[in-house]
A and B are shown apart, each in its own frame.
Chain A
């Protein structure tokens, strides 16, 4: 399998010929009847899993089944934030591994993912918030990751347009300067192109309607192309994990909810960092195109509807305008929602399942995008060796039975 290398010269060459020579970034293959591994779900995690199976473990007879199109699900609906400012060591180790992979991902994939480490500022709205932030920032430092406490004046210096005397006044906060944003489409396309070049079959418009089981193992999956067989299967389908896992006889501790986001019309640079307020639950940043990206909490009830509720939208937009009054005059350009699978401790559920050859990568809730490279890397290792990668061992499904929760929802706050 060969692919054309993207470079300054390839762009210049194409420009010379009027951009008529670009080939599709990945093939549209005819499905084989049997694979070594079938990855269900062609989002970032699924594609990254397939890529690392092929690259790190030499398992190239792999198919990624995507119900819609690459980049049409949560991987293209998130707010592009990457960071590793978690509280517990298990989380910090995993998300720091992910951030490090993001730092070299453009080179790894030969695809510019436009990583911009502009810093992520978390705000404190009271003395007590500030105490909690100090504890949180110190925990991050003790786990070997950068973070810095900010005074009220520091916050104003970093974000001059912020309203320090908001309804809930700003007392300070902390920053992780290595946090930032990444172009999410590029991550999906880059992993798809790189996996395809290593021989992975990416099958779009290929939804899975059920499993064929034999002797407690999955033998095949029912698709529009008939039953496709494989040695091993991995579920990487975010909000639809419970429904699909039930077809395989698995019950999971997940609730699917709608998480919405919105962008305004594009304006000149006005925000320098990503500003996140766990107190009034909003986060905002400015995209490279100038749009202000705003997100908040998930809707309050279970949903598979891919559209958000108006009261939640009003809440986080009101919070954003209170923090940055200059936003009030901007028009909202787009608003959308994705279905996220929220686990009881808001930490992911990864690894082996009671079904011998079925693996899961789910429970990402509101924060799966930042975990894509590490999710793919560790899941590929887990599948290839049939043993949990050390970084994801704490995130196993049996932690709920053992009472070994990793409660980032309580520790690192709602903005997870």
Chain B
């Protein structure tokens, strides 16, 4: 069971949250090529190690926020608001 901390409500169990996938994906400009659209819609980094992802406090305040999580150990490394820059996480090289 993950314990996530909503920036607005504080720490709660995983079951209160909905997962929103990889964060910091920018929508391409109008007139982008099919390849750019495919990349935006479907292609993901899918790192092993530290991942930056969106979560929603679906059964609480319904706000979206971002989490930096280690997807091998499930350790939560950072919580930050949806409009914040990706934080620097020490020792976050991808594993193989």
Chain A interfacial positions (CB closer than 8 Å to B): 207, 209, 240, 242-244, 246-247, 251-256, 300-305, 309-311, 344, 400-403
Contact = CB atoms under 8 A, between A and B. Distances in A.
7 smallest A-B Cβ distances: which pairs? A242-B46, A253-B42, A401-B38, A304-B48, A400-B38, A344-B42, A400-B42
Contacts, number: 77
A256 B43 contact: no
A283 B43 CA distance: 30
A242 B49 CA distance: 12
B15 interface: yes
A251 B42 CA distance: 10
A400 B43 contact: yes
B20 to A, nearest CB: 10
B47 interface: yes
Interface in B28-66: 34-35, 38-39, 41-49, 51, 53
10 contacts: A242-B44, A242-B45, A242-B47, A243-B94, A251-B45, A301-B53, A302-B71, A303-B74, A304-B72, A309-B1
A254 B46 contact: yes
A261 B92 CA distance: 30
A304 B70 CA distance: 9
A398 B75 CA distance: 35
B53 A256 contact: no
A87 B41 CA distance: 24
Given A243-B96, A252-B43, A253-B42, A302 B74 contact: no
A310 B48 contact: no
Contacts of B45: 242, 251
A251 B2 CA distance: 28
A302 B42 contact: no
Contacts of B53: 301-302
Interface of B: 1-2, 14-15, 18-19, 21, 34-35, 38-39, 41-49, 51, 53, 69, 71-74, 94-96
A209 B38 CA distance: 29
Nearest to B18: A300
A309 B71 CA distance: 12
B41 A344 contact: yes
Contacts of A301: 2, 19, 53, 69, 71
Given A304-B49, A309-B14, 12 more contacts: A242-B46, A243-B47, A255-B21, A255-B44, A301-B53, A301-B69, A302-B51, A303-B71, A304-B48, A304-B71, A344-B41, A344-B42
Contacts of B73: 305
Given A243-B96, A344-B41, A401-B34, A252 B46 contact: yes
A88 B74 CA distance: 37
B46 A311 contact: no
A404 to B, nearest CB: 11
A402 B34 contact: yes
Most buried by A among B18, B43, B94: B43
Contacts of A402: 34
A207 B45 CA distance: 21
Given A254-B46, A309-B14, A310-B1, A209 B41 contact: no
A251 to B, nearest CB: 5
Contacts of A246: 94
A309 B69 CA distance: 15
Contact of A300 (B19, B35, B96): B19
A247 B35 contact: no
A240 B18 CA distance: 24
Most buried by B among A253, A255, A301: A301
Most buried by B among A207, A254, A302, A310: A302
Contacts of A300: 18-19
